A and B are shown apart, each in its own frame.
Chain A
Amino acid sequence: EAQVTQNPRYLITVTGKKLTVTCSQNMNHEYMSWYRQDPGLGLRQIYYSMNVEVTDKGDVPEGYKVSRKEKRNFPLILESPSPNQTSLYFCASKRQVQETQYFGPGTRLLVL
C-alpha cells in the first residue's frame, strides 16, 4: 500500500530534550516536506526537500532541522524543543513538484 508513515504518533517531552520524528514514504517520491498545524493558522511549511541531500527552509524553520540521506526518509529534528513547538506535525511527499501531495497520519507533540 502506498503511504507516508510517521513515528511516533504521540510524544510528550520536556523543554531542551532533543527528539526526532521520523517520516518514510514508499512511493519513490522525490519531494518531501514537513508542516505544522496550529489552531486558527492552518498548516505551515517547516522544511522541504526536493531530492536526496537537497533541503531548504519553509515558512517556519526556526528551531527545527531536517536531513535527507535516503530518498524514502525525511526525519524532523528538534535539537532543543520549547513549549511553542507543541503542535501537530505532518510529513508529506509527492513525485514531482507539480503533483498532488500525500500526507502522513500526523505526530502530536507536547513540550512541557
Chain B
Amino acid sequence: GNSVTQMEGPVTLSEEAFLTINCTYTATGYPSLFWYVQYPGEGLQLLLKATKADDKGSNKGFEATYRKETTSFHLEKGSVQVSDSAVYFCALFAGGTSYGKLTFGQGTILTVHP
C-alpha cells in the first residue's frame, strides 16, 4: 500500500537557520505530493504541492522537489522565522481507487527560537 515517512522530530532551530525536513514515500503509479502545515490551534493548510516528477513546489520561502528516482519530497527553507513554528505534514495522493484519500506522514514539529 501507499505510505509516507517523515524525519523524526521535533526539530528546533534558531531564527534564520536553514531548514530541511525529509520525506520519502512508497506508492504505486505516479502520486501527487503535498506539504501541509498546521499552526498551533489551527487546521491544516496546504503549503505547497507537486504533481509530477522533477516539479518544484514553492510557497512562503519553502520549496520541495518531487524526486521520483529517490521517492522523496524534502521540504527546505533557507532562513526560518519564529512564525514558521508549526507541525509539518508530508502527504501523497495516489489516485486510482484511493478515491481522493490523502496518505499522511506522521508529522514533524518545528520550533524556531529568536
Range class of the A interface residue count: 20 to 34
In the bound complex, residues from chain A placing their C-beta under 8 Å from that of B36 are 103
Given contacts A40-B106, A42-B107, contact A104 B43 (CB under 8 A): yes
Structural contact, A101 and B106, CB atoms closer than 8 A: no
Q: How far is the CA of A97 from the CA of B105 in the complex (A)?
A: 20
The tally of CB-CB contacts under 8 A between chains A and B is 58
Q: How far is the CA of A4 from the CA of B43 in the complex (A)?
A: 10
A48 within 8 A of B: yes
Structural contact, B43 and A90, CB atoms closer than 8 A: yes
Structural contact, B43 and A42, CB atoms closer than 8 A: no
Given contacts A90-B44, A103-B43, contact A43 B102 (CB under 8 A): yes
With both beta carbons as reference points, the residue of chain A lying nearest to B87 in the complex is identified as: A37
Range class of the B interface residue count: 20 to 34
In the bound complex, residues from chain A placing their C-beta under 8 Å from that of B43 are 4, 90, 103-106
Structural contact, A98 and B101, CB atoms closer than 8 A: no
A79 within 8 A of B: no
- Among A42, A48, A98, point to the contact of B104 (Cβ < 8 A): A42
Q: How far is the CA of A50 from the CA of B102 in the complex (A)?
A: 14
Structural contact, A98 and B4, CB atoms closer than 8 A: no
Between A and B, 20 residue pairs with Cβ closer than 8 Å are A4-B43, A31-B100, A37-B107, A41-B106, A42-B4, A43-B104, A44-B104, A45-B101, A45-B102, A50-B100, A92-B44, A97-B95, A97-B99, A97-B100, A98-B32, A98-B100, A100-B34, A101-B102, A103-B36, A103-B45
Which residues of B come within 8 Å of A, CB atoms? Answer: 4, 32, 34, 36, 42-46, 49, 89, 91, 93, 95, 99-102, 104-107
